[in-house]
Amino acid sequence: MSNISNSTNLNIRLDSKLKKDAEDLFKRLGLNMSSAINVFLTQSVREQAIPFEIREDVPNKKMIKALNEAKKMADNPEKYKWYTDVQELFNDLDK
């Protein structure tokens, strides 16, 4: 990595919640935002690519099945038992 005398500034705009969430994560990992971005850029240059897969967030078959089931339940609430608290659910499961 280059030394501080060869450094430059980079200004970016991002969502404030994303910034806070990223700062919290990087702090837990022992990094600050600048260090984390430097790690990302260094790895990108080393690999000559984005260092992780970027893809559209498409639900898999299992998720589609669960979403369809949830919609069916929401459209026909009279056919399903609904719970207002977890203990009630657990009591039914223990039967």
pLDDT tens digit string along 30-53?
999 999 999 999 999 999 999 998
pLDDT at 5 over 60: yes
pLDDT at 73 over 90: yes
Gap between the Cα atoms of 38 and 54, Å rounded: 19
| φ and ψ at residue 9, rounded to 5 degrees | -95, 150
- Backbone dihedral region for residue 10 (phi beyond 0: left; psi -120 to 50: alpha; all else: beta): beta
The answer to whether residue 89 scores a pLDDT higher than 60 is: yes
Average pLDDT, the chain: 91
Is the model's pTM score more than 0.75?
Answer: no
| Closest to 19 measured CA to CA, from 9, 34, 40 | 34
Evaluated on CA atoms 70, 61, 89, 86, the torsion sign reads negative
Residue found by looking up tokens 């897969």 in the block: 53
Share of the chain above pLDDT 70, in %: 96
